[in-house]
Amino acid sequence: MKRLFIFLFAVTLLSGNVSYAQENGVFNHLALGVTAGDDGFGFEIAAPLGSFLQVRGGYSIMPFTVTRPFTFGNVTVNGSTREMNNIPFVAKMLDGGQGRVMLDFNPSSDASFHFTIGAMFSSGNLLNTSGDIRNVLHSDEYGTRGIGLQSDCIISSDKEGYLPIDLKTNKIWPYVGVGFGQAVNPDRRVSAVFELGFAYSGNWQMSAYDMVDYYAGFSDSPEIVPLTSAAVRNHDRGAFDKLAKLPVFPVARLNVYFRLF
């Protein structure tokens, strides 16, 4: 009898909350959307939190890779000087994807313009790259010999002879922006939203790895080695140093939503 009373009380309380939510426009609609932007392609789920506020949650991935040659100049390997010129690097942006939670503030219930605050979440690797340096190293040097860019900058390949270099940022990016259109439009089954904004990603840092001790069993993880323009003798034309000064990631995204109910 006691359990039945608790169950009936919980059902009554839940019913009252649902009724309140419906009357005040909280989660009384739900929309599913597809998105395309400079952070890739993805999906979103959106719902109202009242007449002037909507919440969105989504996830995006970047399915494309780009291959570019890169030159490091002369490097030191195992006591000898070798050239690392025109090394093909395969780059992928936001490897592993990126999630987000956004709140849209509408000036009025039927306004298309809105302000947005939220956060984006990622692995902390804005860009993952892998360079083929198998022609620079001997097979027995893969992952076992350091490559000296400078006396204080030693990196290494992995066991397959590839050189990983990542562009690292914070894992959580606070976001502010503006948008045009409503994700959940009670008068339309299909709606579109274009948004522009900035996410604070923290300073961008190009990083390579010294994995010799890691593969030898003396370390639990590869040592992260920050890369600077001086380390590559400015073959990057100052790009590494310029990237390290960028604190934000610009966002431009087009979203199309289908209202489920």
The closest alpha carbon to 256, from 35, 29, 59, belongs to 35
Q: Is residue 59 part of a domain?
A: yes
Q: What is the DSSP string of 57-84?
A: EEEEE---EEEEEE--EEEEETTEEEEE
Mean pLDDT to the nearest integer, 132-140: 96
Tally of CB atoms within 10 A around 230: 13
Q: What is the pLDDT of residues 57-105, one digit of tens each?
A: 999 999 999 999 999 999 999 989 999 999 999 999 998 899 999 999 9
For the record, the structure tokens of 139 come out as 């097979």
pLDDT at 135 over 70: yes
Q: Report yes or no: 172 and 123 within 8 Å, Cβ to Cβ.
A: no
**Angle (CA) 261 51 177, round 5°:** 95
Cβ-proximal residues to 59 (8 Å cutoff; 6+ apart), any chain: 42, 43, 97, 98, 99, 100
For the record, the structure tokens of 19 come out as 């009724």
pTM to 2 decimal places? 0.83
Q: Is residue 14 part of a domain?
A: no
Number of folded domains in the chain? Answer: 1
Which domain does 83 fall in, by range?
A: 48-178+192-250
Q: Is residue 43 part of a domain?
A: no
For the record, the structure tokens of 47 come out as 């719902």
Query: What percent of the chain shows pLDDT beyond 90?
Result: 79
Q: Is residue 27 part of a domain?
A: no
Cβ-proximal residues to 171 (8 Å cutoff; 6+ apart), any chain: 121, 122, 123, 124
What is the C-alpha to C-alpha distance for residues 149 and 77, in angstroms, rounded to an integer? 9
Going by pLDDT thresholds of 50, 70 and 90, the confidence category of residue 14 is very low
Tell me the average pLDDT of the chain.
89
Q: Is residue 136 part of a domain?
A: yes
Number of H helices, E strands in the chain: 3, 18
Q: Is residue 255 part of a domain?
A: no
> In this predicted model, which residue has the larger pLDDT, 112 or 191?
191
Q: Is residue 135 part of a domain?
A: yes
What is the Cα gyration radius of the chain?
25
pLDDT at 29 over 70: yes
Beta strands of the chain (E only): which ranges? 31-37, 40-48, 53-61, 65-70, 73-77, 80-84, 87-93, 98-105, 113-121, 125-132, 147-150, 153-155, 162-168, 172-180, 190-200, 205-210, 223-226, 248-259
What is the C-alpha to C-alpha distance for residues 194 and 179, in angstroms, rounded to an integer? 6
Going by pLDDT thresholds of 50, 70 and 90, the confidence category of residue 144 is very high
pLDDT at 213 over 70: yes
Q: Is residue 134 part of a domain?
A: yes
Q: Report yes or no: 209 and 223 within 8 Å, Cβ to Cβ.
A: yes
> In this predicted model, which residue has the larger pLDDT, 2 or 172?
172
